[in-house]
A = this chain, B = another copy of it.
Amino acid sequence: MTEPTGEFSLIRSFLERWGDLAQGIGDDGAVLTVPEGHKLVVSTDSAVEDVHFSRDHLTPAEIGYRAAAAALSDLAAMAAEPIGLLFAVVLPESCQSDAEALADGVADAARAAHCPIVGGNISRGGELSITTTVLGSAQHPLSRSGARAGDRLFVTGRLGGASEAVMAWKEGREPAAQNRMAFARPTPRIREARWLAEHGATSAIDISDGLAADARHLAEAGKLRITIDGDAVPVADGASLDAALSGGEDYEILFTGPSSAFGEFTKTFNLMLTEIGAAEEGAPELEVRRKGEPIAVPSGYDHLARR
């Protein structure tokens, strides 16, 4: 650490705020137990100021929450149960007074996922960035590659809201409240994805690059052709189908599985589940149709700010 005194007092302050949520901090590494017969699942994700978020649009607590939620969403995609989160922050001078609110936001996301905070790092720097590493355990982690020909394609929730918020900011408009929330407070679908895995999901991914791009990832990993019925895609209120297809950072779960397996989902979680397509034998590519005709899908997600 760059400034031991400042670092140690900030760490103390974080630990006080986190309370019982912080576990095993104080040694060179945290010691965790992976349940017997379970695999360890691990992922890391960075959120960089003016690339992934802007301090003009989000509160410090939202920045912290969103960074942690995006990482936790990767555990959801693998149907893993969170067992620990590490929070590494590079903090510019101008953000010192926001550090505790950032830490509160991280804690909100961790607490909602029942995930202890087991370590981290605080560094000075010129640019605010947060790198969150998440650890989970699963007996049978879901992967991107398990789809079988004949599986149906499903998605949780509604898509496009986060992307609409980013578009509004880019155009200098204030986004609609529900789109702003979709961007600022996404919900990692942790319990939902574990339920889906237990009920027969064969492959899954969380939607971070956009529905179309992430469906392509499933097609490539599964070596299957994937088709999406554009008319079936659940578009968020105030968002367009384009935003739903090409916008990213929805953090909903896109997955394959048998047609009839997930009937109890919506009742169990009070969350929409929509069948939007299918996996078929064929070259690993994606086709999106509207009214039965293939349509072109703009590729890739355009982040908040391009430098």
- Show the binding face of A for B, using Cβ within 8 Å: 1-5, 26-34, 36, 39-46, 48-52, 74-75, 77-78, 80, 84, 86, 88, 90, 93, 118-121, 123-127, 129, 131, 133-136, 141, 143-145, 205-206, 209, 213, 221, 299-301, 303, 306-307
Contacts and interface: CB of A to CB of B under 8 A. Distances in A.
A39 B45 CA distance: 24
B144 A27 contact: yes
Contacts of A307: 93, 124, 126
Given A27-B77, A28-B74, A124-B307, 5 more contacts: A2-B51, A3-B306, A34-B34, A42-B118, A45-B121
B133 A44 contact: yes
A133 B39 contact: no
A70 to B, nearest CB: 11
- This chain: copies in complex: 2
A123 B127 CA distance: 13
A246 to B, nearest CB: 11
A124 B51 CA distance: 7
Interface centre among A42, A52, A77, A299 (most CB of B within 10 A): A42
A251 to B, nearest CB: 11
A41 to B, nearest CB: 4
A121 B5 CA distance: 30
A135 B50 CA distance: 30
B31 A78 contact: yes
A44 B145 CA distance: 29
Contacts of A221: 26-27
B51 A125 contact: yes
A160 B40 CA distance: 38
A134 B50 CA distance: 28
Chain B CB within 10 Å, residue with most, of A45, A205, A299: A45
Nearest to A213: B4
B46 A41 contact: no
Contacts of A125: 48-49, 51, 127, 129
A116 to B, nearest CB: 12
A78 B27 contact: yes
A40 B44 contact: no
A4 B124 contact: no
A1 B86 CA distance: 20
B2 A40 contact: no
A213 B43 CA distance: 32
Contacts of A46: 88, 90, 121, 123, 131
